[in-house]
Structure 1
Amino acid sequence: MKILIIQQKMIGDVLTSSILFETIRKQNPSAELHYLINSHTLPVVLNNPYIDKIIEFTPQVEKSKIKFYSFLKGIRKENYDVVIDVYSKNASALISFFSRAKIRIGKSKSYLNWAYTHPIDSQKNRNKGIPLAQENRLKMLEPLFKNIDYDVDPKIFLNEEERSQLKMQLAQKNISLENKFPVMVNILGSSPDKTYPLPYLAQLLNTLKAEFNEITFLFNYIPHQSKFVDELKSHCQKQTLDSIIDFYAPSLREFIVLTSFCKAMIGNEGGAIHMAKAVNIPSFAIFSPWIRKETWGNNDSDKKHTNVHLKDFKPELFKNKDRKFLKKHQKEYYSQFEPNLLKKNLVQFIQKSIKA
């Protein structure tokens, strides 16, 4: 059986959808499995032993009708038996349909169902005790398998050569993470409406440094975001500033390797948090008020990963408020997500991580 899985755009989505490969491989070890993704997300699936071939959807293909048509012809020549369109948008639906695969699975949407032989309805509530984003992806395997293993998590596969090279980069800058408690801080969300206010985040870092003398911080950002780093630092106390390790990982893959050396990841929920979890690093995720914690967060009973949402502390603010309203008023909601609400949870999380 030859299967193509399509998941374009965001890094966290590509990583999360990779669980399908491990699950399919357990059910059908001889299947040939291909993954269609955007080029910039490649680092999160490199060396994944469950994926036989990666097909990159480049910006050039996306922007050119001629190149896109040529891309479609290449997909058809692969003669897939099954296409699973996790992304389920106009372009991916066209790719699915053009493949001529006998089984074409996608999310059930009235304007896209023409492309699929098996449109699948998404669940709105958890039924399997795992993040809803994972449950709905695994549910797309129902047309293929009777018994689906829902006990699977996204994984990133690093090798010792990568880790050794990063150690050398750190050593060249006279940076050592030994005998310290390095924590990666995801200071920015994927967009401003998914970003915890920087003055509030600085207060949380100040609290952690006051509680744990051995703690040090690394920041996740890209060069053009340095102004936000400066803003965050402007709200930090001196002892916190002295604990910030000035090191920037120049590529996404090197950032993942650097994260694997950390003892914990804290900050805005998003791709960086998912990557930390995928290399088995404890995470503390601060959710945007308009994002459902049930979709991306682990269960509250999870002992390794912690998720916090304003709704956990002030549920009355969310009564009869829909997603559209919450997104429009996210600034007012974020302003009420004060550091004092989170401090106890965050300190307890670090205490558990130190003991682990």
Structure 2
Amino acid sequence: MSYHQKILLIQLRRIGDVLLCTPALRALRVNFPKSYVAFLVEKESSDLMAKNPYLDEVIVLKRGKYRNPFYFLKKLWQIRKKRFDLVIDFLGIPRSAYISFLSGAKRRIGYDLPLRRFFYNIIVKRDRTPKYAAAHKLEALRPLGIEDLDVKLDFFISDEAKAFSESFFLKNEVDQNNLVVSLSPTSRRHFRRWPLKRFARLADWLILNFKATVVLVWGPGEREVVEEVKNLMKEKPIISWETENLFQLGGILRGCDLHMGNDNGTKHIAVAMGKPNITIYGPQDPVSWTYPDFSRHKFLKKRVDCPDCDKIKHKCTKLSCLDLISVEDVQKVFLQLLKELKKTTEKRFAEKIEHLTVD
């Protein structure tokens, strides 16, 4: 294994994409303990790496300034001045491929993708076997002689975020002796949104049958969504406080016992905080986005004969794959999850759910 003095990792885009790189980052640090490691990320997801102990630096790009050539050239010049000798592009879109090529690094690792492969000089052939996305990202380390199978996600939150969370649960008088469930009915993609009426019915069922505290979590621009779910309910949920950063969202999820909701960034943060979860999927592949411990992480997915689904999902208005998932379907998976958690989870949580009926 060659020694690399300065390493740049690239992963732009959203919350889930960035969190799914953390197993590879951890493995890289174990194998290169003395290297200087930097991570290039967009501002919206930069909190996820800000306190990661395996990094020496986080370089932030502002997505809204991409069309400004002066801003982009300035960032490229800043990257070149750091004289990285190795770049690993975990994303492989044209923008990340350009940055890799123009970074000045002698060794550039990237995936075997059409056209973009020419911007790298070390090509990784992707294993097309369906697997968790974090495992695919670990494949990018194979040219370095690193074979690591640990796909646990990392998100290190601040003490301030922990205090924020404790204050939230205290002021809302949440009884931590009862089950606390975070519910995320939001998504920026319409084809990932299960109907809000069904979320409302599910939340009512959790409260009535399990005396659960249901926390409706949301992010920027999503307050109206959780307000609508609350208005559709007969019981009273708690709407999470507005969060200033991803640390605070992580703190709230950390204070819950399990998470349920759409396939979105919040789900990945809940996984990184060690929470069992149930995810409702539309057209996307559950295997790629579900943590591979199916005793703690479950999903619902309806198979629909929809030709060229991946190409048309952004314009799809029917979304039979989501519509076919009933509230009763989710309830059955929840009961199954409770049953399995009783056997496998930590003592405190096991005691909390021991009295709940799962038959």
Question: Which bin holds the TM-score, normalised by the shorter protein?
Answer: 0.7 to 0.9
> How many residues get paired?
338
The match for 1:276 among 265, 270, 277 is 270
Q: Secondary structure at the match of 1:140?
A: helix
1:123 paired with 2:162, answer: no
Q: Does residue 65 of structure 2 align to residue 78 of structure 1? A: no
Matched, 1:150 2:149: yes
Q: Quick one: distance in 2 between partners of 1:228 and 1:78?
A: 44
Distance change >3 Å, CA 322–CA 222, structure 1 → 2: closer
Q: 1:185 to 1:174 in 2, by over 3 A?
A: closer
From 315, 331, 336, the counterpart of 1:348: 336
Matched residue, 1:66: 70
Distance in structure 1 (CA, Å) of the matches to 2:231 and 2:160: 37
Deviations 1:291-314 (A, max 9, x none): 011111133x62211122113xxx
2:23 is the alignment partner of 1:19: yes
Structure 1 residues 248 and 102: alpha-carbon distance in aligned structure 2, compared to 1, 3 A threshold:
same
Conserved 8 A contact 2:278-2:299: yes
Aligned-residue offset at 1:166: 3.1
C-alpha contact (below 8 Å) 2:217/2:226 kept by paired residues: no
Deviation of 1:83 after TM superposition, in Å, equals 0.5
Indicate if the aligned counterparts of 1:61 and 1:71 stay in contact, CA closer than 8 A: no
**Unmatched segments (≥5 aa) in structure 2:** 342-348, 352-359
CA contact (8 A) 1:265 1:282 kept: yes
AA partner of residue 283 (structure 1)? N
Give the C-alpha shift of residue 174 in structure 1.
4.7
Which consecutive segments of 4 or more residues in structure 1 shift more than 4 A? Answer: 319-322, 351-354
- Secondary structure (helix, strand or coil) at the match of 1:63 reads coil
Structure 1 residue 109: Cα displacement:
2.0
The 8 Å contact of residues 157 and 247 in structure 2, kept in 1 or not, is answered as no
Kindly provide the amino acid, as one letter, of the partner of residue 308 in structure 1: L
In structure 1, stretches of 5+ residues that fail to align are 312-316
Counterpart Cα distance in 2 of 1:196 and 1:159: 32
Q: Structure 1 residues 70-79 or 114-123, which shifts more?
A: 114-123
Distance 1:323 1:165 in 2: 40
Label 1:341 to 1:40 Cα distance change in 2 as closer, same or farther (>3 A). Answer: same
| TM-superposed deviation, 1:170 | 4.5
Q: Name 1:136's counterpart in structure 2.
A: 136
User: CA contact under 8 A between 1:153 and 1:278: conserved in structure 2?
Assistant: yes
1:95 aligns with 2:82: no
Letter in 2 for 1:259: L
Match of 2:240 among 232, 240, 247: 247
Cα deviation digits, residues 19-62 of structure 1 (max 9, x gap) = 22101112121121110001121222232111111000124642
Aligned partners of 1:321 and 1:207: how far apart in 2? Answer: 36
TM-superposed deviation, 1:344: 0.9
**1:264-299, Cα deviation, whole Å (9 max, x unpaired):** 1101122111101111111111111x1011111133
CA distance in 1, matches of 2:142, 2:12: 22
* CA distance, structure 2, for counterparts of residue 247 and residue 175 of structure 1: 13
Give 1:260's match in structure 2, choosing from 227, 251, 254. 254
Q: Which residue of 1 aligns with 2:357?
A: none
The letter for the 1-side match of 2:201 is: Q
